[in-house]
A and B are shown apart, each in its own frame.
Chain A
């Protein structure tokens, strides 16, 4: 056998090339869509790079969102501790309890009012000093005050709202001693505001970086096919005809990238829940960690689509001369 035999020129792997299927909007839309899909298959490497970039970029954003959402919900839980307590020296009769309860509830921002009797106060005191019960020898329920514990609505837990609430509370005749952990509320709210600011800043930077990276990747994709754009415009294609398949391609890349990033994020989240218990002091599965809410997922998918579409549109503007 002649090993120098000239290698046969093999015909290319044939992709079925879409052609205009028919008239009307439906026919044209179908043509552009099938053309976009064929383009993706013919430029598979470039498309994998683009989709991979979008996936990674959005994965970083969605990881950040996931952490942020969980911190927010943790903060919500902590803010349950913002509670105002009104102390009384004496036991209140049922009638007095009802009167005070009604007056307190009339102030806006109250979510729950709970009367704590002396016996209940003693029981709590004991449970807090468990193991050191000897300290409580001689302490009887009569020395402890009775109180109303007032939980506030979410919207009324910031420092100013709590102070307003307390001053309104003090105007009720018969109420003099009010405690609400002033310092704690102030610090907690300062921390919360700081966290939100930090989140917004970091998130903002991340989003800008992602837009920059994705739009540049798409620009490179389109740059690598500028010959095609040029040839199409030279043979008389309208701007819309040239753009439509590329825009659809961008849209498909964006949606595929964002969908992949959500799937990857879910995998990471599940992996963390399964494995983190072994190195964390708490069990993450039981600690109320949650995945991104549906509206955030929808937002991510939409963001991917918009990124792909706008990225393609702005890049195309640069390369189409028609």
Chain B
């Protein structure tokens, strides 16, 4: 599904953000990226949704080299990828519904279907009663769920999340983790960048540790009991 071959990335000539990364992520996998701040987690995610192109090496998604995508093909790639940001990136003056529906609107869905799908995902996230609220009036956990709804409403093949639980309390963290797991069960490949050790330990998933732009450790998925319990 996702393959990185000897990928290097530098924002400036002297400092490299990623150095010779080789990584394979299979279809339907759930993987945590971890490491200290500045390790290259966010850069790696940005490579995957086409916001950056590597200086060296290849990034393949579904066999397609994304360095070779034209400007008009990048939107098509992004339609199959849901992205969740630490700062949510919600439109503050728009309602919850509008924030989620935008994913479907840009893809040209019809009005009725947009309404149905959006309300359905809001229901899954447990925030359907607030569909008409402006997002700035929501709590941090609720905003994160709106961001998740926006990323998942389209049933993406890949879900990328950058520090999705950074500002949340434990109850909210668990809810968010469960949403990731449910999406993963439905077939979405999930990649979560976090340095929240508890989240990683709780979920018993494959773990890739980055440091100074390099992969320093990889731990395969444990036979987990959490999945069974879900």
Chain A interface main SS type: loop
Contacts of A231 in B (CB 8 A): 89-91, 102
A contacts, CB < 8 Å to B: 9, 11-12, 14, 17, 19-22, 42-43, 227-228, 230-239, 241, 321-322
Partner of B137, one of A9, A19, A42, A228: A9
Residue of B nearest to A225 (CB): B91
Q: Which 4 A-B pairs have the closest CB atoms?
A: A236-B79, A237-B106, A19-B111, A236-B78
9 CB contacts below 8 A, A to B, read A9-B133, A11-B132, A12-B133, A12-B134, A14-B132, A228-B91, A235-B79, A236-B79, A238-B72
Residue of A nearest to B133 (CB): A11
Known: A12-B133, A20-B108. A237 touches B75 (CB 8 A): yes
Contact status A17-B78, CB under 8 Å: no
Instruction: Write the nearest CB–CB distance from A175 to chain B, whole angstroms.
Output: 76
Contact status A236-B76, CB under 8 Å: yes
Cα of A9 to Cα of B102 in the assembled complex, Å: 24
Contact status B111-A241, CB under 8 Å: no
Instruction: Write the nearest CB–CB distance from A48 to chain B, whole angstroms.
Output: 16
Instruction: Write the nearest CB–CB distance from B210 to chain A, whole angstroms.
Output: 23
Cα of A138 to Cα of B226 in the assembled complex, Å: 130
Residue of B nearest to A17 (CB): B98
Residue-wise, chain B 141-167 has the 8 Å CB interface mask toward A (1 for contact) of 000000000100000000000000000
Most buried by A among B83, B91, B105, B137: B105
Contact status A241-B106, CB under 8 Å: yes
Contacts of A237 in B (CB 8 A): 75, 106
Residue-wise, chain B 73-94 has the 8 Å CB interface mask toward A (1 for contact) of 0111111000100000111111
Cα of A19 to Cα of B114 in the assembled complex, Å: 8
Partner of A232, one of B51, B76, B77, B106: B106
Most buried by B among A11, A20, A228, A236: A236
Partner of A19, one of B74, B93, B110: B110
Instruction: Write the nearest CB–CB distance from B221 to chain A, whole angstroms.
Output: 29
